[in-house]
């Protein structure tokens, strides 16, 4: 008698590094080890919100959200987006302006961020906390794909840009205020942890181990068969140019996506510490914990 497959409610983002890394699972190219993955592809803020509502067993999340959810989730060793030169960009609709300067009419400026619990928003809060506190700028949350179009229309003053937009902002006629990832690297010396795969702590140990093993196999499969992943990425990407998609993968998929290792774990520890120091996450929360199979 065949054993019924264990259903796993999983969700990942629509960004190319996720659809690349999970191509093997989405298309059953790797051994699923008796797991039946029910997968949703969502915007990162939808993923964060779904985890807060316990809608998923396993899901991609911003490490900002992971820090808040650390009491009920593990970060899995495989599937993370972490690295050097991968940070979000703070863009402006006008040249030579900054959220730290007062607008011409003396009113606060508007800064668009890609979701309350995204790591991009956390970085903006870490580095521009004084401008926020003094009401020089006001944060407004939007889906990441809306931010650059709104800046182009001059419907906002600043925007924190993530995903494919990192490669296309110049052709959109926008201006770079600061690379928030570069600032993180200069201040910490660590790679920037953007997002990772969270799993519920109350899952059975044997199930957790199988999930981690399948995700690891899927990441490795994508790295070994990059051309095969392009149709999977195109289905969800905001940018359909193959060169841009692969540039995105080359930037966000690396050795720490395969396994966080000691360097990745230390970067998560630094992020947790800074978030606690700035009171971005509750003081009572434990640090982010990486699952050990």
Element (H, E) at 46: helix 44-52
Show the domain range for 221. Answer: 6-84+193-277
- Residues 80, 96 share a domain: no
- Residues 98, 78 share a domain: no
Pairwise CA distance, residues 44 & 22, whole Å: 15
- Residues 146, 80 share a domain: no
Pairwise CA distance, residues 22 & 28, whole Å: 10
- Residues 236, 119 share a domain: no
CATH assignment of the domain containing 168 = 3.40.190.10
Pairwise CA distance, residues 123 & 216, whole Å: 28
Of the residues 168, 188, 208, the one at which a domain ends:
188
CA triple 100-102-106, angle to 5 deg: 160
Q: Is 163 a catalytic residue?
A: yes
Of the residues 188, 223, 243, the one at which a domain ends:
188
Per-residue model confidence (pLDDT) at position 102: 66
- Residues 259, 138 share a domain: no
Residue 69 lies in a domain: yes
Residue 1 lies in a domain: no
Residue 41 lies in a domain: yes
Residue 288 lies in a domain: no
3-state secondary structure of 75: strand
Could you give the C-alpha distances from 124 to 81, 113, 131, 167, in angstroms and in order?
18, 8, 10, 20
List 23, 64, 141, 163, catalytic entry: 163
140 with 113: CB under 8 angstroms? yes
Residue 40 lies in a domain: yes
Which residue in the block uniquely carries the two structure tokens 């699923």?
32
pTM for the full predicted model: 0.85
Per-residue model confidence (pLDDT) at position 281: 77
Residue 30 lies in a domain: yes
- Residues 161, 18 share a domain: no
44 with 72: CB under 8 angstroms? no
- Residues 247, 214 share a domain: yes
Question: Domain count of the chain?
Answer: 2
Could you give the C-alpha distances from 138 to 103, 112, 156, 161, 241, in angstroms and in order?
12, 8, 10, 16, 34
- Residues 56, 199 share a domain: yes
63 with 267: CB under 8 angstroms? no
- Residues 272, 216 share a domain: yes
CA triple 92-99-175, angle to 5 deg: 15
Residue 289 lies in a domain: no
List, run by run, the mean pLDDT of 10-residue segments along the chain (293 residues): 77 93 97 96 88 96 91 96 91 83 71 90 92 89 88 90 74 88 94 96 96 98 96 81 85 94 95 84 81 90
Per-residue model confidence (pLDDT) at position 2: 47
Of the residues 188, 207, 238, the one at which a domain ends:
188
The dihedral sign for the CA sequence 104, 110, 111, 117: positive
Residue 284 lies in a domain: no
- Residues 68, 130 share a domain: no
- Residues 166, 117 share a domain: yes
Per-residue model confidence (pLDDT) at position 101: 76
- Residues 176, 131 share a domain: yes
Per-residue model confidence (pLDDT) at position 238: 64
What's the number of CA atoms in the CB half-sphere (13 Å) around residue 264? 24
């Amino acid at each position: 008698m065949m054993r019924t497959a264990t259903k796993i409610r999983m969700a990942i983002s629509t960004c190319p590094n996720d659809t690349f890394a999970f191509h093997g699972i989405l298309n059953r190219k790797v051994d699923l080890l008796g797991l039946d993955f029910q997968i949703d592809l969502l915007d990162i803020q939808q993923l964060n919100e779904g985890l807060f509502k316990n809608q998923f067993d396993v899901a991609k999340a911003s490490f900002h959200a992971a820090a808040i959810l650390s009491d009920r989730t593990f970060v899995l060793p495989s599937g993370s987006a972490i690295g050097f030169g991968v940070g979000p960009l703070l863009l402006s609709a006008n040249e030579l302006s900054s959220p730290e300067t007062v607008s011409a009419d003396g009113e606060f400026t508007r800064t668009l961020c890609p979701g309350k619990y995204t790591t991009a928003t956390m970085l903006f809060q870490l580095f521009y906390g004084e401008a926020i506190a003094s009401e020089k700028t006001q944060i407004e949350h939007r889906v990441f794909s809306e931010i650059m179009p709104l800046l182009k229309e001059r419907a906002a003053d600043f925007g924190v840009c993530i995903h494919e937009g990192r490669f296309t902002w110049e052709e959109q006629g926008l201006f770079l205020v600061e690379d928030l990832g570069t600032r993180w690297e200069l201040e910490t010396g660590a790679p920037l942890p953007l997002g990772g795969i969270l799993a519920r702590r109350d899952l059975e140990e044997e199930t957790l181990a199988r999930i981690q093993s399948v995700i690891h196999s899927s990441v490795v499969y994508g790295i070994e068969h990059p051309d095969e992943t392009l149709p999977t990425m195109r289905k969800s990407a905001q940018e359909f140019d193959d060169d841009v998609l692969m540039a995105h993968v080359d930037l966000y998929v690396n050795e720490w996506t395969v396994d966080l290792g000691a360097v990745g774990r230390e970067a998560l520890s630094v992020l947790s510490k800074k978030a606690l120091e700035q009171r971005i996450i509750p003081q009572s929360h434990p640090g982010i914990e990486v699952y050990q199979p």
